[in-house]
Amino acid sequence: MYEMNRDKNKRDEPSSFMSRVVSVGFFGGLFWGVIGFFAYYLNLSKIGPALILAPWALGKWKTQWLGQLIGIVLIALLSILVAIVYRYLFSRIKSKFAGIFFGVLLWILVFYLLHPIFPGLEPMNKIGRNTISTTLCLYILYGVFVGYSISFEYQERQQAKNGQST
C-alpha cells in the first residue's frame, strides 16, 4: 500500500526544473528562430536561420526555404544547450538585465568569436546597420525570454521549497 501511494505522489509532482529549462530553450529557439526568418524574409537582416548550416552544408539549398527551415530546427535544438548554460550561470538572478546581458553575450559570441567558422558571413564593418541592429535586438529578446523564464521558474521553485520546509 505504501509503495502505491509513493508512486502516485511521484506522478503528481510538477515536472523537474531541468525539463522546464529544456522546454524553455527549445521553444525559445523555435520562436525566435521563426522571428529571425521573418526578419530575413522582410530584408531587415541579411542573415537568416540557415547561417547555422554554413560551416557544414554545401549547395544552394541551404539559403532557400528548406535550409531556413532546417536552420530553425537546429537553432531550437542548440537553444536547449544555451538554456542549460543560462540555468547554471544566471538562474538565481531574477532580472531582465541578466537576460539582456546574456543576449548581448550570445550575439558577441556568434558575430565576433565564431565569425571565422561562418564562411558566408560578411565582416561587421560591411554587414550593415540594419542587420546589426535587427540581429542584436533578436538576441536580446531571446536572452530576455530564456533568462526571465528560467529565473522565474527557479524563484518559484525556491519559494515553494521554502514554504514547505517552514
pLDDT tens, position by position, 80-93: 999 999 999 988 88
Q: Is the dihedral of CA 73, 78, 79, 83 positive or negative?
A: positive
Q: Does some domain include residue 105?
A: yes
**Does residue 63 lie within any of the structural domains?**
yes
pTM, two decimals, is 0.85
Q: Is there a domain that residue 77 lies in?
A: yes
25 is a domain residue: yes
Of residues 63 and 123, which shows the higher confidence score?
123
Instruction: Label residue 111 exposed, middle or buried (CB < 10 Å: 0-12, 13-18, 19+).
Output: buried
**Structural domain count of the chain:** 1
In a domain, 150, yes or no: yes
Tens digit of each residue's pLDDT (9 = 90 or more) over 64-76: 889 999 999 999 9
Out of 15-19, 136-140, 160-164, least confident range: 160-164
> Is 2 part of any domain?
no
Residue-level pLDDT at 11:
45
Could you tell me the CA-to-CA distances from 71 to 16, 64, 95, 96, 114 in Å, in that order? 28, 11, 30, 27, 17
**pLDDT of amino acid 9:** 46
Residue reference for cell 535544438? 77
Domain extent for 110: 16-157
Residue 9 maps to a domain: no
**pLDDT, position 93:** 85
Average pLDDT, the chain: 87
In a domain, 131, yes or no: yes
